[in-house]
Chain A
Amino acid sequence: MTVSLPHALSVWRRNASMYRRTWMFTILPNFFEPVLYLMSIGIGLGAYVSQMGGGSYAQFLAPGLICVSAMNGASFEVTYNVFVRLTFQKTYDGMLTTPVAPEDILLGEVLWAVTRSLVYGGCFFVVVALFGLVPLPRGLLMLPLIPLAGLLFASIGIAFSLRIPAIDLFSFYFTLFLTPIFLFSDIFFPLAERLPANLLWVAEVLPLLHPVRIARHIFAGQWSPVLLWDLAYIAGFSAVLLSWASVWVRKRLTS
């Protein structure tokens, strides 16, 4: 069955009406997270780093951390929350008694995760801008990048969620996948300066480097052809994962 955007949006609306009741509690922590990061690493550790990439250490961290908040916003949504709706709450079984199809559920959840990434990443962006760490107006180009990063990690996370049998496996996803790429994706130090040249391809294969590199270029006000590769990676990897996920979601929800 082909995907129906109106039905996908009804799935999106379901999540939105739930979060309309709880948004105060979910959004507020988003403001604390970047402040704590910037204070601890940027101001604390940054005091020992006189200069990084032509500016303060806090300035070096800012673009990467905005991408990470987009990644986290999308990831929590498509992992634990999707899995709970899939298995414990049977939310999707309820949707399938209506004209909503499995592919609509997939699209609706991905759109919702992108929305959450925009909320998370947007909050982070605002705080970082208030610290004076965002060059304006060119820094506003981050606003379309945040949902793109969200789309990439929504696609990866939902593909994982549709394949695992038990909720415990998400601890592997977070500790063995998201945390390592968080630490080795050009966010805390320039990869090219510290990693042996013959290992740089590993970071190129992993997803987080690509939005981070685009963000760095936006902050620096630079253009490079490598950004085309980064955009192609984000679009292509998301498309491949979502086309697999559309097969898996049907297998998982129907029999």
Chain B
Amino acid sequence: MASVVEVRSVTKRFGERVAVAGIDLDVHAGSCFGLLGPNGAGKTTTLRMVYGVTRPTGGTIRVFGIDIAARPREVRARLGVTLQENVMTDEISPRDNLRVFGRYHLLREPELSRRVEELIDFLELRSHADVPVRNLSGGFKRRLAIAQSLMNRPELLILDEPTTGLDPAVRLSIWSRVRDLREKGSTVLLTTHYMDEAQRLCDRVAIMAEGAIRAEGPPLALIAQHAGEEALELDCSPEEEARLLDGFAERAKRLRAGRRLMLYVGDAAALAEHIRTRDAGDRRPLVVRPSNLEDVFLALTGTQLEGGA
């Protein structure tokens, strides 16, 4: 399958600080690719290099097969970017903001107005299309920000933390729009630290930490590889942990955050049974659930992973 974005051995240093430490990425045409990682992992720097505003210290990036460093205007005419922060003019309406963005792409009438109205419908902006942006809610502004980045009918849509800080209804509506775009053939590259968002939207994800990619693949494959099938959570001290797990045959990956212990195994029911027998009458609550991308994220970027890692 053709790669829309090809990142090869890319590094970025800001003075002494290494922001991106030699990464390779491929975003295939028509797919949704998620870059996950904690704050400061290098996700935004990577995106900025993809659309050509930050220049790599080493390595090459091709977008649509074009070297972004050599022909940035040509590449940016074909992609759209929703930045982490909403960038819009507060004094004017959503409709006027969309027109402003359309003109950056040199859209002319009647195409300009036609596209503005299309996107007002697509992102459900009509109720407040003529109200100054400063009076709008966070969710409405975020939908407008996404609409702005779609003015040029981009083949590649880049979303930097599209739903951070939004309420669940707005998040659902944005996810649904992203799926609509994909059905129409757009390629999506997004960053997020919401693992549920990545798991719902992305065909492939890469988990970044300290400027490097720690793991890459389809979400389910990463979960199976790094977090087993099931997770069991309980509260216990490290001393109790040793006592409770003593004698359990399967080596469980363990992750601890304060008193909370998370155990990743193939069969959590057997482990729960084992803990019950060792726990002699002390009926502490056990939570058994399927492993998810959050567990992978914590395992790869979190602080301490012990046991069968």
User: Does A180 make an interface contact (CB < 8 A)?
Assistant: no
User: Does B87 make an interface contact (CB < 8 A)?
Assistant: yes
CA distance A13 to B88 in the complex (A): 14
| Residues A90 and B89 in contact in the complex (CB < 8 Å), given A7-B106, A98-B76 | no
User: Does B80 make an interface contact (CB < 8 A)?
Assistant: yes
- For the side of the interface on B, what is the size category? 20 to 34
CB-based contact A255/B54 at 8 Å: yes
Among residues of A, the one whose C-beta sits closest to the C-beta of B71 is: A1
CB-based contact A100/B99 at 8 Å: no
User: Does B55 make an interface contact (CB < 8 A)?
Assistant: yes
User: Does B83 make an interface contact (CB < 8 A)?
Assistant: yes
User: Does A222 make an interface contact (CB < 8 A)?
Assistant: no
A10 nearest CB across to chain B (Å)? 4
User: Does A101 make an interface contact (CB < 8 A)?
Assistant: yes
A17 nearest CB across to chain B (Å)? 5
User: Does A243 make an interface contact (CB < 8 A)?
Assistant: no
Which of A14, A90, A97 contacts B51, CB < 8 Å?
A: A97
Interface size on A, residues (CB 8 A): 27
Among residues of A, the one whose C-beta sits closest to the C-beta of B99 is: A17
CB-based contact A14/B89 at 8 Å: yes
B53 surroundings in chain A (CB, below 8 A): 93, 96-97, 253-255
CA distance A22 to B48 in the complex (A): 34
User: Does A95 make an interface contact (CB < 8 A)?
Assistant: yes
User: Does B32 make an interface contact (CB < 8 A)?
Assistant: no
CB-based contact B83/A93 at 8 Å: yes
B91 surroundings in chain A (CB, below 8 A): 18, 21-22
| Residues A94 and B14 in contact in the complex (CB < 8 Å), given A14-B89, A21-B91 | no
CB-based contact B89/A254 at 8 Å: no
CA distance A14 to B89 in the complex (A): 9
CB-based contact A94/B83 at 8 Å: yes
B251 nearest CB across to chain A (Å)? 45
Among residues of B, the one whose C-beta sits closest to the C-beta of A9 is: B103
CB-based contact A254/B152 at 8 Å: no
| A82-126, CB < 8 A from B | 89-91, 93-101
B104 nearest CB across to chain A (Å)? 4
CA distance A6 to B89 in the complex (A): 20
CB-based contact A17/B100 at 8 Å: yes
| Residues A1 and B104 in contact in the complex (CB < 8 Å), given A21-B91, A97-B80, A255-B55 | no
Interface residues of B (CB under 8 A from A): 14, 48, 51, 53-55, 72-74, 76-77, 80-81, 83, 85, 87-89, 91-92, 96, 99-101, 103-106, 132, 148-149, 152, 158
Task: List 12 other contacts, CB 8 Å, given A10-B103, A91-B87.
Answer: A10-B100, A13-B100, A14-B104, A17-B100, A93-B85, A94-B87, A97-B51, A97-B83, A254-B53, A254-B54, A255-B53, A255-B54
Interface residues of A (CB under 8 A from B): 1, 4, 6-7, 10-11, 13-14, 17-18, 21-22, 89-91, 93-101, 253-255
Some 20 contacts from A to B, beta carbons below 8 A apart, are A1-B72, A6-B106, A10-B103, A10-B104, A10-B106, A13-B103, A14-B100, A21-B91, A22-B91, A90-B83, A91-B87, A93-B83, A93-B85, A96-B53, A97-B51, A99-B73, A99-B77, A101-B73, A254-B55, A255-B53
